[in-house]
Structure 1
Amino acid sequence: MLPTERRERIRELIREGRHVKISDLSRALGVSEMTIYRDLKPILEEGWVKKTYGGVTLVGEESPASDPGCVYCGRKPDSRLAYRLVLQGQRMETACCCHCGLLRHSQVKGQVAQAICRDFISHVTISALRAWYVLDPEVYIGCCRPQVLSFEQREVAGRFIRGFGGSLLSFPEAIQQLTQ
Structure 2
Amino acid sequence: MTRKSLLKATVLCLAMMACCVTFSACSSDENEPETIITNELTTIKAEYSVSLSEDWYRFFDIEVTYTSETGVKTILLTEDWNFDMNIPYTAGPDEFVCQVTAKPKADMPAIEENASYLLEENIQVRVNGILEDGTMSSEYGYSGNRSGTETKSSEGMKKYVTGEHSLMKFTYTPEK
Alignment TM class, shorter chain as reference? under 0.3
Q: Flag the structure with larger Rg.
A: 2
TM-score (norm 1): 0.20
Structure scoring higher RCO (CA < 8 A, sep ≥ 6) equals 2
TM-score normalised by the chain length of structure 2? 0.21
Where is the helix percentage greater, Structure 1 or Structure 2? Answer: 1
More strand per residue: 2
